[in-house]
Structures are given as structure tokens and as C-alpha cells.
Amino acid sequence: MTFCSRRQALKGIGAATLAAPALAHAQAAAPSADAPGPLTLWYRQPAKVWTEALAIGNGRLGAMVFGGVAREQLQLNEDTLWSGGPYDPVNPEALAALPDVRALIAQGKYAEAEAMVNARMMGTPVRQMSYQTLGDLGLDFPGLGEVADYHRELDLDRAVATTRFRIGDTIHTREVFASPVDQVLVVRLSAEGSGRVDVDVRLSTPQKAEVKADASGLLSMRGRNGAQHGVESALRFTCLVRALPVGGTVEPAGDHLKVRGAESVVLLLAASTSFRRYDDVSGDPDAIAGGHVQAAAEKPFPRLLDAHLASHRALFRRVAIDLGTTAAARLPTDQRVRDSEALNDPALAALYHQFGRYLLICSSRPGTQPANLQGIWNDSLKPSWGSKYTININTEMNYWPAEPTALPELVEPLVSLIRDIAETGARTARTMYGARGWMAHHNTDLWRATAPIDGAQYGMWPLGGAWLCLHLWDHYDYGRDRDFLASVYPLMKGAAEFFLDTLVEDPKSGYLMTSPSLSPENPHPHGSSLVAGPAMDQQILRDLFDNCVKAAEILGLDPDFRAQAAKTRARLAPDRIGRVGQLQEWVEDWDMQVPEIHHRHVSHLYAVYPSGQIDMFDTPELAAAARKSLDIRGDEATGWGIGWRLNLWARLGDAERAHLVLRMLLRPKCTYPNLFDSHPPFQIDGNFGGTAGITEMVLRSRRNEIHLLPALPGAWPKGSVTGLRARGAVRVDISWSGGMLDQAILEARMPGPHRLRLGKQVMEIDLEARKPVRVTRTGGKLSVAPL
Ligand code: FUC
């Protein structure tokens, strides 16, 4: 059952009968026998604030659905509506300053180096553009009577938000979805009983725009984006709404549409901007939005819904997860979050896992923009951190769940972004550093800006593009599509070439190092963040050079470059263990003297996760040092910081600590009633980090090793997961009980050798293509047999 049936609604899901305005003080939530299934977020009152509203999206169009009764609000987004227009922020003065900055760093004059970077190397402007709201669809329902049996929900399996309530003998149902097939938001308002749907349909926006309803019954909002930080406005946008009533009338009323006396009405909303590429804003938003509305209007509602469901489920249903169910699962979602520290609610972790997958499906589909700091959901013109792409952790974290939770297609927008910044970043590499290849600093935006921003202590970090390249390799490694690898290899090579040209030799050790750089965004004890060769840089570069060498070998290309990459990799500084046994964040052993010992970033632990360079089995001393560093840093952090810690504890094999940290992530401090991750305010990376971390607790895939149940906590004694992916194109299903493996099914798309690990047992196996095997424990021993 996906939402309460009509009969249940009439019986009364909630006990109280409430006048619409009184809904804000909804009844206390008791467990409900009629609670929807495990993949549904549900509530007994409308959203009062944005972080209670429910997110829908088709990758490009997004809406936050409030579920109001007399006034429904859908806050709208279109993923290319950002401020500004094409611009190049690279500061041509930077190249001349570079040797001086490097010299100051080499002399340990970090504060002076930072001042010089701020004065001579930062981007112009020193900020990037912001992702912005499109506005709101407002639905006013005049003359509604007393409301009973209110229920609203978001069914993750259908990607439909539904609000349902009774007035007298009439059940009012409002369904909203964002179709990835028809590129429209679809709203169906219906009344079953003697009542009818009367609604005034409005569009509004804080952008500069004009709204009007024409004689044909089309409501339109046309406007321009705003200028920001001296970058002029260059985008036009159009949002259109057509109302299609059954058994009623629709007529224009100046700036809105009036629907009266309908049994039901379908609203189709389309939106577009003139954005085509980061350097091309010549699109025709009227033609695009008009085309979408017109095409959708020719299809009856069931056809629109069926196409939407099929497209969504083709992705969403690839993975199922069951971590156990307790009575808490029958509570409304807001109460489960509110009481999560007291409740034993493993099903909330499973719901959170699937919610992350849902959010990725809704915010990143082939052809759309990648999921930004808020996915696609943002109600502001000036969101925190511009709701852009912070590539010193946040954008990468967004995509951590994509490969292991079987959503590889959704990485396409990130790959496209990397292609774009390889172009803009080639200019930055040349102009700022006099180097070949391409690079990006710690942020980018719709216009693919790659210069350092925000101030030296955050922005002077040249590894943003290099880290993103890990996702190119991982996409290949999980799927083993050689053509894909061939298509992205030039991007990886270009990223590596930049460092071949810019690494400097440390006069003391002879190691090659990045300079200037920093360990994001952690100030060290010498009055600055700037340094040469922080640990994370070396770790990212080891991955980049290794992956370039492997890719070139697979593709049979570039023997000279391969040799040079391998030689350079060997000259990078190794990871070091410091005086309290911690993994050093910098070349110097400064970790215990930093101003912020509990800093939210854990950059030097990149080597543990997402990379696998440091590992309990292959490098136990370094893994112990990483553990020490994580302990020193502490588990408390902002949402994404906790999300990263969750993955790290799982990788380090500490199931109970990982579970503790997951519970911290699910607290109201980090999770809003609508399950959005709090920074605060909202930042989506923690959601994705949470999904990746829960996955990491049950399946670990590193090199050719498949580690079953690597960090299974006592709180999840029985459960199952199906459809996960391991490296080497392997599908993995696992079920367990009493905290022990019952069975795992492995099915590879490519033949290949794998190492299977469960507890202390290790087994080498060869998987044949499309010949699934069953893994069991018999007499305490692993055994593998054809299925
Ligand atoms: C990084 C983090 C901040 C925030 C921002 C968007 O700079 O340090 O906490 O998440 O990105």
C-alpha cells in the first residue's frame, strides 16, 4: 500500500478533526496500524517550513511540496537558473606572483604567503555565481470547510508526493511528481465525493519576471536571472503552467488561473532557461518549455504517471535493503527523526539509505547539471555557499553512493562537468601556472569557473580537478566499460600533466610537492592554511597517477607518459605517522597544535576513504594511525563531516563506532523532518555520505576484494541487501541472521579473479561472466558454489 486508501481515510488515519488553520498544532503521533510501507516518508500535518516540505525532482526540475490545505505551495527549481553569465575569473597577475609565494612557503613564512596569494592570485571576482530559486507555484483553494484525516507522504518507490484529507464526505487528493520522461512537473488535484476542486493557480518569483495568464488558459512567468559579484545577468527563463480540468472550467484572471467546479484538474508545469553550455546562453526557453507543456498536454494523466513510474523504478528498484523492523517504523517520519536517539529503529537507517538513492535519481540524470550543494532544491537567491559545487569534498561525496548502489548512469552529469572544467581549467593552468593540462581549485559553478575563490585559506588548493578524476576511474572500475575509459582518459591525463609541470622539489626531503596548497580548509599552527604538500594532495596524486598508468595500460597508450607518471608518483612524499601515533595531516608533525583540533574536514584520511590506499589488511600501521587521527578529530561535526566519519569507521572495520556515528547523523541536529541533511542550513552531501556509509557497512569493495559484512553492527542482527555493486562489474546480494552471513550471491558481468573476505576468512575465486555463484558459511568455512 503506498498511501492510505480512501476507505482508511474515511475511517480516519489521524484521530482528530481539524479546521485547516489548526493543522499546525497537529495531534501527537502515536504508532499507526495504517502507516505506509517502509519506503515512504509520511506526516500528519502540512510542512510549516521548507525543511519539512517534500522533495521531488527529475534531475532538472525540482519542487518542494508543502502539503498545505487551503494554500498549497510548491517551491520550484530549474537546475540551470544560476546568477550571472559566462565569465572568466582567472587572475592574469597570478603567474608572476607564483615564484614569490612558493619561496615564502619554502621559508616557512606562511602568513606572508597567504597575504600575497590574497593580494595577487585570487580569482576576479573572488566569489562564484549562485544557484537560485525559480519561484513558487501557489495553489489557493477558496471556501474549504473543516479538514479531517490529514495525511501527506513521499513514496520513494513511486517518486510521488501525495497529500490527502477529507472535508465532509469528500476526499481531496493532491499528487505531485516531476517526470523525467515528459520533462514537466505534474500536479493532479482531485475530489471524490460531493465536493469539487476550486483552485486559483499562481506563479511568483523573487527574480525579475512578469507573470500573466493568457486567453488560452496558459499561465506564464518570464524573467531574467540576476547579476552577482559584478558578473552580468545573461539568462532568460520561462515557466509555464497549463491547467486541464475534468468536469469544470478554467479561465485566466489577470495574473493567475481560476479553476472552478472540477472533479479533478491536472496542472502541467514546464520551465527552462536560455543556458546551453557554460559559454553559450543562446537557448530559447519559450520554445523548450512550450514544447514540453504542449507534448505533455496531449497525454492523459495515467500515461504521464506510468511513464514516470517506469523511468524512476528502473533505477530505484535496483537495490533493496532490509536492516530489520521495529515498532518505530510505524511512526510518522518526523517523530522517528525527533526521537531517533531513543528509538531502536533500524528501518530508519534503511529508509535513509534509500532516500539518498532517491535524491540522486531526482537531482542528477544524464543531460542535467550535477547535484550541487543542495541537489536541485533551493528556495533562495543567495543560498549558503552559493549552493554551488565545492570540490574539496562536497561534490565528490554527492556521488559516493552512485557506483556501489547501482546508479552509475547518474554520474554522467559529473563527467560532463569534468569535461567542461578540463576546458576552462586548461586556461587557468596556462594563465595562472604556466602549465599544461588542466586544473580546478576548491569550487566551481554553472559557468565552470576554476580560479581560486573565497580567500587563500579556502581557495588556494589546486587539487579539485584531480580529486574529481577519481570518479572517472571508479566509474570504469565498477562497470568495466572500456569505451567509457577511452573517452575520459584524456581528462585524467590532462589533470596529471598539470602536476607533472607544477610539482616542486622540497629542498629538505627531495620529495615532489604541490605548492602553494593547503589541507582543506584547516588552518595549521603557523597563522595560515597554506603549505607545500599536505598529505591529502599526495594521496590524491597517487590515485591520479596510478589510475592514469592503469588506464593507459588497458588502452595501450602513451608509454612515455606512463613512465613519467609512475616516476613522478614514486617521488611523492609518503604518508607519515606523527608523535602521538596519528596520521600526519602535513609534512610537519603539527596535528596536535592546530587551532581547530576537531575540524570538520578529515582530508588526510582520504587515503582510507574514498581511496583505499590505507587499509587494515595491507597497511595496518597506517590504518591504526588513521584511526588515531579520527579519534583525535572526534565524531561530532556538521552533517557531511559525520557522513565522512561514518564511511571511515566502516572502512576501518569498527562496526559499533560506525553505527554510533550513523545514529548521530540521524539525530534532529543533522537530519530535518523531511530527512534532508542539515549543515545547517540544508546541504545534501550528508545524505549521500550516509547512503554510501550504510553501504560500506555491509559491503566493502577495494581493488579486486569483495568484503562481505565488513562492519555489521549488533543492532542489525538480521537483514538483507540486494543489487549492490562491487568493483569489477559484480552484482552482490547478501542476507544474514544472528549477525552471521546466511548467503551472498555474486554475479559478474565480466570474468575475473576476486578475493572474497568474510570475517577472518579469505578466499580467492574466479567469477565467470553471467554465471552467478552462491557464497555460504558451512562449518564456519566459506564455500562458493554455482547457483
Ligand atoms: C566546505 C566546508 C563547509 C561547507 C562548504 C560548502 O568548504 O568546509 O563546511 O560544507 O564546503
Q: Are 24 and 45 in contact (CB under 8 A)?
A: yes
- Report whether residue 441 contacts ligand 1, using a CB cutoff of 6 Å: no
| Whole-angstrom distance, CA of residue 542 vs CA of residue 525 | 26
pLDDT at 778: 84
Residues 6+ apart with CB under 8 A from 224: 207, 208, 209, 233, 235, 236, 237
454 Cα: distance to centroid of ligand 1 (angstroms): 11
pLDDT at 35: 82
Distance in Å from the first CA to the final CA of the chain: 33
pLDDT at 623: 98
pLDDT at 1: 29
Residues 6+ apart with CB under 8 A from 623: 608, 614, 615, 616, 652
DSSP for 432-493, please give it.
HH--SS----SEE-TT---S--S-HHHH--TTHHHHHHHHHHHHHHHH--HHHHHHHHHHHH
Grid coordinates belonging to 718: 538480521
Annotate 339-406 with three-state secondary structure: CCCCCCCHHHHHHHHHHHHHHHHHHCCCCCCCCECCECCCCCCCCHHHHCEECCCHHHHHCCCCCCCC
464 Cα: distance to centroid of ligand 1 (angstroms): 14
Backbone dihedral angles phi then psi of residue 540, each to the nearest 5 degrees: -65, -40
- Report whether residue 390 contacts ligand 1, using a CB cutoff of 6 Å: yes
Q: Within 13 Å of residue 101, how many CA atoms lie on the same side as its CB?
A: 29
pLDDT digits (tens, 9 = 90+) for 210-238: 999 998 889 999 999 999 999 999 999 99
Grid coordinates belonging to 334: 518526523
- Report whether residue 394 contacts ligand 1, using a CB cutoff of 6 Å: yes
pLDDT digits (tens, 9 = 90+) for 590-633: 999 999 999 999 999 999 999 999 999 999 999 999 999 999 99
Kindly report the protein residue whose alpha carbon is nearest to atom 4 of ligand 1: 385
Alpha helices in 107-173 (DSSP H): 110-120
**Residue numbers in the chain where pLDDT is lower than 50:** 1-28
553 Cα: distance to centroid of ligand 1 (angstroms): 37
SS3 602: coil
Closest atom, ligand 1, to C-alpha of 640: 10
pLDDT at 749: 97
Return the amino acid letter for 285: P
Q: How many CB atoms lie within 10 A of CB 124?
A: 16
Question: What is the DSSP secondary structure assignment for residue 184, as one 8-state letter?
Answer: S
| Whole-angstrom distance, CA of residue 337 vs CA of residue 346 | 12
Q: Are 166 and 147 in contact (CB under 8 A)?
A: yes
Q: Name the residue of 131, 683, 684, 687 whose CB sits within 8 Å of the most ligand 1 atoms, as the mutation to test its pocket.
A: 683
305 Cα: distance to centroid of ligand 1 (angstroms): 38
pLDDT at 780: 78
pLDDT at 31: 62
| Whole-angstrom distance, CA of residue 361 vs CA of residue 356 | 9
| Whole-angstrom distance, CA of residue 542 vs CA of residue 612 | 11
Closest atom, ligand 1, to C-alpha of 458: 7
